[in-house]
Amino acid sequence: MRHLHGLTIIMAALLFENVTIDQTASAEDDPRRPAAISTEHVPRIPDALWDRQVSYLNTRAAGFRGWAPNGSGILIQTRFGNTSQLHRVYQPGGRREQVTFFEEPANGQFLPGTIDGTLLISMATGGNERYQVYISESVGEAELLTDGKSRNLLGPVRDDGLFCLIASNERNGKDTDLYIADPNRPGSRELLFQTDSEYWIPEDWSRDGSKVLIRQYVSINECYPALLDVGSQKKVDIPIPGGGPSAFGQMAFSNDGESAFLSCDSDTEFRHLARVDLSSMEYTWLSRDIPWDVEEIAVAPPGRFLPADNLLAFTINEDGASGLYLLLGDKSRRVELPMGIVTSLEFSPEGTQLGFTLSRPNLPSDAYSLRLADGELTRWTYSELGGLEESALVEPDIVRFKTFDDREIPALYFCPDAASSDRPVPVVINIHGGPESQARPSFDSLTQFQVAELGFAVLRPNVRGSRGYGKSYLLLDNGPKREDSVRDIGALLDWVEQQPELDASRVAVYGGSYGGYMVLASLTHFSDRLRCGVDIVGIASFKTFLENTSAYRRDLRRAEYGDERTPEMREVFARIDPIHNAQKISTSLLVAHGENDPRVPFSEAEQIAPKVRSNGQSVWTAYADNEGHGFARKENRDYIRAVITMFLMQHLGPRK
């Protein structure tokens, strides 16, 4: 086997035997439980279990956040303390110099046009997602540019660094307007574009500063692009080919500002790359020969190549993994990279290199660059594996299983090498959120621990409604069709029964956010086929979720789930909501939630846990008063992961 210390299935069984979970030892007395987390019915974490997890908990990742304007290295986001912060790296493989030191996770970018490393920083408090924008001209200091109360998203920054765009709901807490701000004059925000119950996203700023590309987001299947004149504040709609609702992804100006590059799925299943002439509004398609979604787009600055040539980099979502392409004129070439996910594309200021983040399924994310002259790939960061050996980490296979309507559902399949018909292994079905998200081959230390140390198989399905497989697939679970995706989990349980190396009598479901709903719904339908469920920040009732989620996102979610104000959808939700079917859950449940969650309110957890307990089932709860939609602080995340592991070990233990 490739696993650490040559661990076999037999040794995994020994781990279960050596870890004694004392149900009488309360987590309230556990020194490893952070003060911010309150628990109920959670036992104290055994020392042997904690010690076994330490290496996996201490893996680290780095994300590329941009090139220094003066050419002196790059900016990355990584974590050395309790939260992720910004760091400078001056040369490939060089030391990481921390430049932000906040209690909260900090993200951001260099301010263009500066030579001293001035930063624009984005940060929220306690997971509330009310992001504020700051300017930092020296290490450890930051000055607030926004109001300190509303939700503010940093948008495009003009090439000279004199102005930036901020999308903010400060006017009424619901509508997201676009503002221009001068980073050198805090409080200088001026309204550029006021919305009216619409959600507009600023995408790019032309190099001459006169125009902005913006995109109205209605749903993942319906967007409307437009061109906004900065001086007159006049909006000109970019027409949609074919006229019908279409999805649009990232948008970017050509160097001369006369064209826009964008991705669109008009008249096709996938979002293809196109060039739009902004005078005639005519489309020229550039990637119709690639039958997958285009995701990220970046245009190289003028310099090495003539502005009219517009060297582009773009990524595609190819069955979950990223393909990276370079396009010059009408000729494209694929860049060969290891299997993984490519994000945060940005060309260097002189236009000779492309920077990006690469996350592989068996390695944490790191920052890379590609030299355009000869295609040389350079790794800038070497994120720590916590003492693990790279050869110990597992890559998934992509499998497909038939579901109730004869569709094939894709899934990532992580399986211990020693699993066999003689020793079938337990299974964790890990269901993604969104619901328009996608299980993709990126690094997850919890999955690696479950496979390598516990000997579990992990399946991460992309049930109907997942992105990446065409717009028709995305629409298959909308509104009243919601439970069809749950039926896909039933089909996956059928597939598990057919695999001789898997033990269909020991299966758990795990998921976060919408994936948490899928866990609860699966338990209401398939309790007799499941041992337990883990619900992280999950939806227990679509009705109360839609009523209580943050105002700015309520209509966006209604477009996907249905409008709870209509009699038809109220009837559907009354029928399918887990809170109304909790009496059918006859398995154990773990519920974890952040009390400041602005997306799926904490009240969802407070509803479901007592309902399932009233069935006489064991329910563990872990709630953090300094977290939101997930667990961003390392001490909280480590503890929650240990609780999840302890819970799964108890219910998926050795074969009897």
Q: What is the pLDDT of residues 615-648, one digit of tens each?
A: 999 999 999 999 999 999 999 999 999 999 999 9
Kind of pairing between the strands at 588-594 and 619-624: parallel
Q: Is the pLDDT of residue 5 over 80?
A: no
**pLDDT at position 7:** 43
Gap between the Cα atoms of 120 and 135, Å rounded: 5
Q: Give 90-100 pLDDT, tens digit per residue.
A: 999 999 999 99
Residue with token string 């765009």? 165
Kind of pairing between the strands at 502-512 and 457-461: unpaired
Q: Is the pLDDT of residue 593 over 70?
A: yes
> Do 135 and 115 form a contact (C-beta atoms < 8 A)?
no
Domain with CATH 3.40.50.1820 in the chain: 4-58+387-651
**Farthest-apart Cα atoms in the chain, separation:** 74
> Do 173 and 154 form a contact (C-beta atoms < 8 A)?
no
Q: Residue 607 to residues 349, 522, 540, 596: CA-CA distances in angstroms?
A: 52, 17, 7, 16
Gap between the Cα atoms of 633 and 125, Å rounded: 12
Gap between the Cα atoms of 494 and 482, Å rounded: 20
Q: Is the pLDDT of residue 610 over 60?
A: yes
- Three-class SS of 553-593: HHHHHHHHHCCCCCHHHHHHHHHHCHHHHHHHCCCEEEEEE
Q: Give 196-223 pLDDT, tens digit per residue.
A: 888 899 999 999 999 999 999 998 889 9
Structure tokens at 327: 């396009």
DSSP designation for 529? G
Task: Using only the alpha carbons of the chain, give its radius of gyration.
Answer: 25
Query: At residue 59, what is the residue type?
Result: T
Count Cβ atoms within 10 A of the Cβ of residue 607 and give its class: 0-12 exposed, 13-18 middle, 19 or more buried. Answer: middle
Preceding amide of 435 cis, omega within 30: yes
Q: Give 447-505 pLDDT, tens digit per residue.
A: 999 999 999 999 999 999 999 999 999 999 988 999 999 999 999 999 999 999 999 99
Kind of pairing between the strands at 363-371 and 235-237: unpaired
The H-assigned helical ranges of 437-529 are 445-452, 471-474, 482-497, 514-526
Mean residue pLDDT of the chain comes to: 91
Structure tokens at 478: 């909308």
Q: Residue 646 to residues 20, 45, 52: CA-CA distances in angstroms?
A: 10, 7, 12
**pLDDT at position 304:** 54
Q: Could you count the other beta carbons within 10 Å of the beta carbon of residue 16?
A: 17
Gap between the Cα atoms of 204 and 522, Å rounded: 42
Count Cβ atoms within 10 A of the Cβ of residue 110 and give its class: 0-12 exposed, 13-18 middle, 19 or more buried. Answer: buried
CB crowding 329-338: b at 16 or more within 10 Å, else e? eeebeebebe
Gap between the Cα atoms of 232 and 379, Å rounded: 45
Please indicate whether residue 298 or residue 117 has the higher confidence score (pLDDT).
298
Helix axes 445-452, 634-651, angle to 10 degrees: 30
Q: Give 312-346 pLDDT, tens digit per residue.
A: 999 999 999 999 999 988 788 999 999 999 999 99
Helix and strand numbers, DSSP H then E, in the chain: 12, 37
**pLDDT at position 20:** 65
**pLDDT at position 133:** 95
Structure tokens at 112: 């263009």
Q: Is the dihedral of CA 364, 365, 366, 371 positive or negative?
A: positive
Residue 178's nearest CA partner among 156, 200, 145 is: 200
Residue with token string 């995994």? 12
The H-assigned helical ranges of 404-481 are 445-452, 471-474
Helix (H, G, I), strand (E, B) or coil at 6: helix
pLDDT classification of 15: cutoffs 50, 70, 90: low
Q: Could you count the other beta carbons within 10 Å of the beta carbon of residue 568?
A: 11
**pLDDT at position 139:** 82
Gap between the Cα atoms of 308 and 614, Å rounded: 68
Helix (H, G, I), strand (E, B) or coil at 150: coil
Q: Residue 72 to residues 66, 116, 119, 373: CA-CA distances in angstroms?
A: 11, 10, 14, 20
Gap between the Cα atoms of 256 and 270, Å rounded: 28
DSSP designation for 69? T
**pLDDT at position 158:** 94
Q: Give 265-285 pLDDT, tens digit per residue.
A: 998 999 999 999 999 999 999
Please tell me the class of the 4-58+387-651 domain: alpha beta
Q: Give 57-116 pLDDT, tens digit per residue.
A: 999 999 999 999 888 899 999 999 889 999 999 999 999 999 999 999 999 999 998 877
Residue with token string 């540019």? 145
CB crowding 118-152: b at 16 or more within 10 Å, else e? bbbbbbbbbbbbbbbbbbbeeeeebeebbeeebbb
Q: Could you count the other beta carbons within 10 Å of the beta carbon of residue 458?
A: 25
